[in-house]
A and B are shown apart, each in its own frame.
Chain A
């Protein structure tokens, strides 16, 4: 599963002089609220109740007549209710997955400096099996898809820099430094051509899917010395 999250705060334009004052990026990755969880629990209960009532109704009929004859509508409703129940239960279960909160400092950093990435998992930290953090620089361009009959734009990406951080000892919470290299392109954002920098955070949890988050960060031109 891959999740791209925009940073909570804007990161300014290249060449900004107030780079050291750039506020940290704070990102919360939990994709839903407690009230959504309550809604799913209620929906699960509703689907379960529908299955139970249908089952009870047919069981009474079966005891009375000795024949089990569900209509096509009953079967359709039952299949739908079972599917809905499974889906709602899975969604409710995901509420208890551990999700990382991140703080990336500073919010914008020049080439040759570094980002400090702090994280803490909310929820059951014991279920976190592995994490991997990397600084990634990549080109993103819009190109014409010449293979299709109708010409349409497609987005192509190609990484030019991937630097994985050392594997942290503590997974539930911790911090790493990500060095921004010198001599490359800072963040560049035009209509069809972009140079993007992002912090990639991957984690594997017990009884859960592999999660991959990408947090765009602003890399500024190198600070002139002397």
Chain B
């Protein structure tokens, strides 16, 4: 059975801005992949339209069906992981094998002291600025 696995060097999935993220990417596939891509990106989710931005990509080639590669990413300083009333932002490490496109994701937190920022709820309801402007 095909499998891809991201193993981080540390057990915690909480990182401070600018930290190094070190780990191992291992896979066991029925066919030799052309390449395996490891992408570091942030993504948003919530009531709004989701969006993502890839920050770094590493491509591994000359691979075997069963293989393991080490990786190291220098995390950026921003944006932080946060949870808000409308949207939240999460950091993701995603490995994809081509051409099968089998993939695996690992979500992690990046914020001050390794903590997610939780936005409080201030006075004032959710406001539809589009309707007001119209």
Please report A residues at the B interface, Cβ cutoff 8 Å.
14-15, 136-145, 153-162, 183-186, 188, 190-193, 195, 221-222
Contact = CB atoms under 8 A, between A and B. Distances in A.
Contacts of B123: 159, 162
Nearest to B46: A141
Contacts of A139: 84-87, 119
B131 A141 contact: no
Interface stretch (B22-30, B54-62, B63-71, B75-83): B75-83
A143 B51 contact: no
A156 B84 contact: no
B1 interface: no
Given A143-B49, A155-B128, A160 B77 contact: no
A142 B49 contact: yes
B46 A184 contact: no
B77 A156 contact: no
Interface string B8-43: 000000000100000000000000000000000000
A136 B48 CA distance: 21
A177 to B, nearest CB: 20
B44 A192 contact: yes
B44 to A, nearest CB: 5
B interface, size bucket = 35 or more
A160 to B, nearest CB: 4
Interface string B110-134: 0010000101111111111111010
Contacts of A138: 122
A154 B130 contact: yes
Interface string B74-104: 0001111010111101000000000000000
Nearest to B82: A185
A-B interface, 7 closest residue pairs, ranked by CB to CB distance from nearest: A141-B48, A160-B119, A154-B130, A159-B122, A155-B129, A159-B124, A158-B85
Majority secondary structure, A binding face: strand
Contact of A183 (B117, B127, B128): B117
A185 B47 contact: no
Nearest to A143: B48
A156 B126 contact: yes
Contact of A221 (B44, B51, B78, B89): B78
A144 B46 CA distance: 12
B124 A154 contact: no
Contacts of A159: 122-124
A140 B86 CA distance: 8
Contacts of B117: 183-185
Given A139-B86, A157-B126, A183-B112, 7 more contacts: A155-B128, A156-B47, A159-B124, A160-B122, A191-B51, A193-B51, A195-B84
A186 B89 CA distance: 13
